[in-house]
Chains A and B, each alone.
Chain A
């Protein structure tokens, strides 16, 4: 079945560091990918839609200069948390639909980000 790979699984770094998270669709092409943020025991909050070859679409309240998204190819989207601070610590997870946009989403395993 369709697989989405997310890397890294864990990141622990100092405040002020920028962190890049990769999301790859392994056996299918994804013109659109999605990035979510999840706090402990809470729901997934959609942050942005990553569009291959064009700018990402950010949800209301999400700082686009803080969370840089690049979708350079049909199988790779990256999320960079710039100048991360402790309040950015969270579980970040990506997803991609296989086929057209209304198909089920395949999720990566997520990245647990801890900023000291």
Chain B
């Protein structure tokens, strides 16, 4: 399956600070999805990026897909305590019609009030 490197593994910020997590692949991705998992919970879908250079926003969250479709990022502006959780990128298996996802190792975000 698709192998991606996600950094950083941990990020601790004070409420109001910004946060960014990066997902990098050595190969071109067909598409990439982002999920959030709260402590003790299950992953929840955030966004899917498909097009080269695509940028999507959801309130304080901005998602980008690189021009070469080899990297992606999630940026949160002015973090809140509700943003706490682990953020995973998950590229779809290239060429597969089965929708298999191979999750990055995730970035665990801690927000201090």
Residues of A within 8 A of B (CB): 32, 34, 36, 41-46, 49, 57, 59, 93, 95, 97, 100-110
Residues of A close to B99: CB separation below 8 A:
32, 34, 97, 100-103, 105
Is A44 a contact partner of B98 (Cβ separation < 8 A)? no
**Size bracket, chain B contacts:** 20 to 34
Smallest beta-carbon distance B47→chain A, Å:
9
| Interface of B: prevailing SS | loop
In the complex with contacts A43-B88, A59-B1, A97-B99, A106-B106 CB distance below 8 A: no
In the complex with contacts A102-B92, A104-B45, A57-B104 CB distance below 8 A: no
Is A43 a contact partner of B42 (Cβ separation < 8 A)? no
Chain A's closest residue to B101 (CB) is A105
| Bound: A34/B96 CA distance, A | 14
Chain A's closest residue to B88 (CB) is A43
| Bound: A36/B102 CA distance, A | 10
Residues of B within 8 A of A (CB): 1, 31, 33, 35, 41-45, 48, 88, 92, 96-106, 108
| Bound: A35/B29 CA distance, A | 22
Is A109 a contact partner of B1 (Cβ separation < 8 A)? no
Is B42 a contact partner of A93 (Cβ separation < 8 A)? yes
Is A107 a contact partner of B97 (Cβ separation < 8 A)? no
Residues of B close to A97: CB separation below 8 A:
99
Is A57 a contact partner of B98 (Cβ separation < 8 A)? yes
| Bound: A109/B40 CA distance, A | 9
